[in-house]
Amino acid sequence: MNNNDFVISSRIRIARNVTGYPFPNKMDDKRASVIASSVYDTLNKDGSYEIKPVSNLSETQIGTLKEKNLMTSALAATTFGSLILKRDESVSVMINELDHVVINTFEKGFNVEKAYEVADGIERALEEKLKFVFSDKLGYLTASPSTVGTGLKVSVKMFLPALHITHALSEVASALSRINISLKATADNETSNGYVYELSSLHTLGVSEQDIIDKVKKAVNSVKSYEEKARERIYKENEVDLKDKIMRSYGIATNSYKMGSSEMLSILAFIRLGAYYKILPISDVSVIDSLSSSLMPYAIYDYKKTGFKTSEERSIFRASKIKETLKSL
């Protein structure tokens, strides 16, 4: 069982607050700037980071950052918030979101330990310069009671089409909730989000960081096993229809003149599934994941800084990029 067939990416989130400062909802510009400057100066010693005050970002820039999970709607709504972003987008640090400092680290595939190692290193470097609010009884204090304790959230994005098709997701999610693990679709409409779900830790109080990581890893492996069995089942019971759906999806993707983002996610999901069954000659599914993320309504502007005159022009470009990429594999 190849992890990349089931897991798209791993993310670590660590929330911290600085002693002597009010929470961000009561922050003023001067104090917000002090925290932002301190974090930026600590991280940017090698010039690999850039700082982006939210007030200076355009709607398109904010939309792109949100699509990539590099910033939240809560940060976008702040008056004095900033984003400190590593240039390769493997690290984003939100300043004055709900908490003073929210560290996010990202890794492709199932690499929770590596993502945590990076996040922990950043947190330790910052703690040498900033004193974080800590209670001997409760642990790190945060704006939300749900993150008091370690302030750690571990998330893994998973590709789960078979569990969706077999209507087993609600049962799996219910079982996970009993051990304080969440499994939710990354969009309201599961079929148009490419069957991508986020598995996340929920409990941070009274447990260690390693306990949380171990629990998430165990949960991911369990879900992978359920998804693998579901894929075997749908292939056995609907081989002809499944192959037809996969080949039609590939045909549409390599011949369409224009394509919307929802249609793209649905079609690329079946192409990704076709790679798993070896129906399609695609050895590296991360290429499909990259297409899915880079051609979303805002992120697509990274390809064309001058923008698109109409949504139709954007859809034409999207279809062209998908066709070009798939035919090169």
The whole-angstrom separation of Cα 225 and Cα 138 is 36
Residues 32 and 91 in one domain: yes
Residues 6 or more apart in contact with residue 116 via CB below 8 angstroms: 12, 105, 154, 209, 213
Residues 55 and 146 in one domain: yes
Provide the domain count of the chain.
Answer: 2
Residues 78 and 180 in one domain: yes
CATH number at residue 129: 3.30.590.10
Any alpha helices (H) in 157-310, and if so which ranges? 161-165, 169-177, 209-237, 239-253, 261-276, 286-294
Residues 160 and 248 in one domain: no
Which tens digit of pLDDT belongs to each residue from 89-101? 999 999 999 999 9
Which range of residues forms the domain containing residue 88?
Answer: 3-226
Which tens digit of pLDDT belongs to each residue from 218-260? 999 999 999 999 999 999 999 999 999 999 999 999 999 999 9
The answer to whether 173 touches 183, Cβ cutoff 8 Å, is: yes
The answer to whether 16 touches 139, Cβ cutoff 8 Å, is: no
Residue 35, pLDDT above cutoff 60: yes
Which tens digit of pLDDT belongs to each residue from 185-208? 987 544 457 899 999 999 899 999
Let me know if residue 232 belongs to a domain: no
Q: Which of 158, 155, 123 is nearest to 140 (CA)?
A: 123
What's the rounded mean pLDDT across residues 279-290?
94
Query: What is the sign, positive or negative, of the torsion defined by CA atoms of 168, 171, 176, 181?
Result: positive
Confidence (pTM): 0.94
Let me know if residue 290 belongs to a domain: yes
Residues 190 and 300 in one domain: no
Residues 7 and 66 in one domain: yes
Residues 255 and 218 in one domain: no
Residues 219 and 75 in one domain: yes
Q: In this predicted structure, what is the pLDDT of residue 203? A: 86
Tokens found for residue 33: 């700037």
